[in-house]
Structure 1
Amino acid sequence: MFGDYSLGDLGSIFAMQGFAGLILFSVYVLMALGLAIIFGQMGVINMAHGEFMILGAYVTYFCSEFFSAYLPSLFPGYFFVAMALAFLASGSLGMLVEWALIKRLYKRPLDTLLATWGLSLILQQTYRSVFGPREVGVVLPDWLLGSLPVTDTIEVPINGVFVMCLTALITIAVGLLMYKARWGRQVRAVVQNRVMAGAVGIDTERVDRMTFGLGCGIAGVAGSAFTMIGSTGPTSGQLYIVDTFLIVVFGGAASLFGTIASAFSISQTQSTLEFFLSGSMAKVITLLTVVAILMLRPQGLFTLKVRR
């Protein structure tokens, strides 16, 4: 596999593929952050998480079309508006789903799996009926196109740098929200002891709804980032849901740092292997490696120490 390349060529290939995997890493992190909040903090297995991501992608697509047709002078900045609307749309739908469905299934993880899997099929058919079965692509502003030369043989895609910076900001904001803000302390209190949290005056139902909405909203932002690496269709979200669950479990369900480290290692491994092998073989090798590691360390790479 490596015999036809010199050491210099291999170094350039690894660097280029690493930079090429920046957007994939960012999508994985944003998807996994939302899922880690829902699964790690609430114990809900949300099989419809990919559909919340695709809702954000559709919002980004329609923002692109709207600004291109009616506000061409503001088109260079439409992506920021699209991300905000994607967060609001996916987050609002998530809060509605929590109120109508999920709140009746807490402490029943297998039931949440079946219910959200059914929800994913309903959302896919809804997208197909509303937006059509054809995949659509987003036109990016000119300032997100092109690349930045690092050396004579290595270039960094500008949209990858942008999404990386966006992911870093969102990750820091989520970390501060969960571990420094009053609302984050309420979330952790509800997770540890729901009855006692309610007894001291915390509105546990509101905390649940806001937590689920936040996780789904972050998935919507991931959908905006997703438009840079693939076309948007009714079933596109299902291509990422397995990888996202794998990242959350591999990194440790309750560990924010573990989620980031896991997303980075898996995305970079897949991006590099896809250069030398087919995409399916790269996924198979990555999956087998992760499964082998989980057999030795089933709790994931990083776990939180809790006093009992």
Structure 2
Amino acid sequence: MFDYSMSELTAIFAMQGFAGLILFSVFLLMALGLAIIFGQMGVINMAHGEFMILGAYVTYLTSNLFAEYAPGLFDGYFFVAIVLAFLASALLGMLVEWSMIRFLYQRPLDTLLATWGLSLVLQQAYRSIFGAREVGVVIPDWLTGSYPVTDIVELPVSGIFVMVLAVGVTLAVALLMFRSRWGCQVRAVVQNRPMAGAVGINTARVDRLTFALGCGIAGIAGSAFTMIGSTGPSSGQLYIVDTFLVVVFGGAASLLGTVASAFGISQAQSTLEFFLGGSMAKVLTLMVVVLILMVRPQGLFALKVRR
């Protein structure tokens, strides 16, 4: 670090900061879905990465279908892919909740083992259907190129789009959770499930829709992931640990904590990777997070619940 001039350090921090923003966008989309499932429902979903990869594969299939059957509309395929990725992951999540998760509530270790087994099943299913090799989507022309900020720093258009998508989804989730009738029902079930059921809230339906929403947001994260990387059967496992770290560090069930945690961890990893390498950056980031959690085990922002 001391071998660089001040102008070079400024350019490096700017470039790595923007790279961190792109990583932050993927972390945020992944963590939003997991925060809903883990923070609101207490379910440790180890298959969350596979729901993300389902969204990525749906985006890949949509890209191929538009390229073959509707090449004139190819520039707009990504918007269709986002909707389809959300629906596919949400429907699979709803099926998983109905067939497995609903029998395991209040048993977090059992949900961990069950969803870990589910992740292995989904990985093998993706491997059998799409093959073991990684695949990539063709990015529309309007998402290629970069926007020059200075003579040294350029911002890729695809990265800007991913960030705008993450901000839009975050605002939509915030409005849904805090400004809608369904969001009030979810928060009521989280704070006092027996009382919520006593006043007429269908807690089973709330659980199913909540799990489906969390999985659907992971599908959107998968669509965003195709803009910055290739998709393989086990790609989701590369992000699941970091995603849980974001949720726990930010504070379970805290939307603001999830945003702040995703931003801090992504920026720290991106900057440290340039100077120390990827492995050492993850180790140092994890050490700092663990030390902070030892002092503040409830995370950055804890949900206040009246007992």
Q: TM-score, normalised by structure 2?
A: 0.98
Distance in 1 of aligned mates of 2:146 and 2:120: 38
Structure 1 residue 268 displacement after superposition: 1.1
Structure 1 residue 152 displacement after superposition: 1.7
AA aligned opposite 2:150: T
Distance in 1 of aligned mates of 2:152 and 2:23: 21
Q: 5+ unaligned residues in a row in structure 1: which ranges?
A: none
Secondary structure of residue in 2 paired with 1:201? coil
CA offsets 1:15-72 (integer angstroms, 9 cap, x no match):
1111122221111000000000000000000000000000000001111111111111
1:264 corresponding residue in structure 2? 263
Question: Is 1:6 equivalent to 2:5 in the alignment?
Answer: yes
Question: Is 1:163 equivalent to 2:162 in the alignment?
Answer: yes
Structure 1 residue 307 displacement after superposition: 2.4
Distance in 2 of aligned mates of 1:167 and 1:135: 24
AA aligned opposite 1:201: G
Question: Is 1:231 equivalent to 2:230 in the alignment?
Answer: yes
Distance in 2 of aligned mates of 1:205 and 1:14: 48
Do the aligned residues in 2 keep the contact of 1:57 with 1:224 (CA within 8 Å)?
A: yes
Question: Is 1:196 equivalent to 2:195 in the alignment?
Answer: yes
2:153 corresponding residue in structure 1? 154
Structure 1 residue 306 displacement after superposition: 2.4
AA aligned opposite 1:236: S
2:73 corresponding residue in structure 1? 74
Identical-residue share of aligned pairs (%): 77
Distance in 2 of aligned mates of 1:81 and 1:227: 14
2:278 corresponding residue in structure 1? 279
Distance in 1 of aligned mates of 2:92 and 2:109: 22
Structure 1 residue 282 displacement after superposition: 1.3
Structure 2 CA distance for partners of 1:61 and 1:27, relative to 1, 3 Å: same
Distance in 2 of aligned mates of 1:78 and 1:162: 14
Q: TM-score, normalised by structure 1?
A: 0.98
1:250 corresponding residue in structure 2? 249
1:62 corresponding residue in structure 2? 61
Distance in 1 of aligned mates of 2:278 and 2:88: 32
1:32 corresponding residue in structure 2? 31
CA offsets 1:169-227 (integer angstroms, 9 cap, x no match):
11011011111100001011111222221121111111000000000000000000111
Secondary structure of residue in 2 paired with 1:90? helix
Structure 1 residue 148 displacement after superposition: 0.8
Do the aligned residues in 2 keep the contact of 1:21 with 1:271 (CA within 8 Å)?
A: yes
Q: 5+ unaligned residues in a row in structure 2: which ranges?
A: none
Do the aligned residues in 2 keep the contact of 1:25 with 1:263 (CA within 8 Å)?
A: yes
CA offsets 1:82-139 (integer angstroms, 9 cap, x no match):
0000000000000000000000000000100000001001111111111111110111
AA aligned opposite 2:100: L
Structure 1 residue 305 displacement after superposition: 2.3
Distance in 1 of aligned mates of 2:207 and 2:301: 25
AA aligned opposite 2:86: F
Runs of 4 or more, structure 1, over 6 Å off, are none
Question: Is 1:179 equivalent to 2:178 in the alignment?
Answer: yes
Do the aligned residues in 2 keep the contact of 1:44 with 1:112 (CA within 8 Å)?
A: yes
